[in-house]
Amino acid sequence: MRAAYAAGAVSVGQVVEALLALLIARGADPTWIERESDQTLRARADSLQQVLRDRGIAELPLYGIPFAVKDNLDVAGRPTTAACPAFAYTPDETAATIARLLDAGAIYVGKTNLDQFATGLVGVRTPYGIPVNAFDADYVPGGSSSGSAVAVAAGLVSFALGTDTAGSGRVPAAFNNVVGLKPTRGLVSNHGVLPACRSLDCIAVFALGCDDARTVLDVIAGFDPRDPWSRAVPRAAPSATRVDGAFRVGVLPAAQREF
């Protein structure tokens, strides 16, 4: 899509109009808890098209790419519910990862459904309706990041963010046949994430392919002093992936390998 933008084969405005038509055709959709208005999405498209005219998109790796976020991540001025209306609050600050995506030119579409408070692996523990499995409506969508996985699998967005504490990203990704990437703890900032378990929570990336997931990860990865688990270290040192000569492998005692 980005190559098509650069070549002038398609405009952000055209992509947004196609997206709006798809969203309208689906009607009331439990994939979403809250979605940006048509006017807001068109305004974002207009601003990005002006950026293209003014300075090009070489420095915007996610230019014009639509995305969604699980509704336990903060977006300034938009309610965060964690699928619990009585708990809902409206943050003043956008989550660090979402801010990075917007700075990279991506288009925020809205908040997706989830198992309440991100506690569940089936995707049905929500008062906002059950997101429909993209391949078979008789099956659960998986959770807790159900809406994010379905939004990508159904082609509503190019990628989505969720969270993964104990499978909440990888399980719905598997159930909907998309890539679910759980980064190493501390690689991606959790600032602006409503915690389920602070010491285990990770931002999850949903995409149709590994290359897309890696592109998103490259944008959102980075040290953030506001996150106490954030790491100011390289993703992987070359020496850690190269073996010179013989090496030894450590194996736990048998008693410690019994579950």
Give catalytic residues, as residue numbers.
Answer: 70, 144, 168
Q: Tell me which H or E stretch contains 96.
A: helix 96-103
**Tokens representing residue 235 in the block:** 């993703």
> Which amino acid does the sequence have at 226?
R
> Which amino acid does the sequence have at 202?
C
Provide the strand spans (E) within 145-243: 159-164, 179-181, 202-207
**Cβ contact 112:72 at 8 Å:** no
> Which amino acid does the sequence have at 237?
A
> Which amino acid does the sequence have at 29?
D
64 Ramachandran zone, left/alpha/beta (phi>0; psi -120 to 50): left
Provide the strand spans (E) within the chain: 32-35, 66-70, 107-112, 159-164, 179-181, 202-207
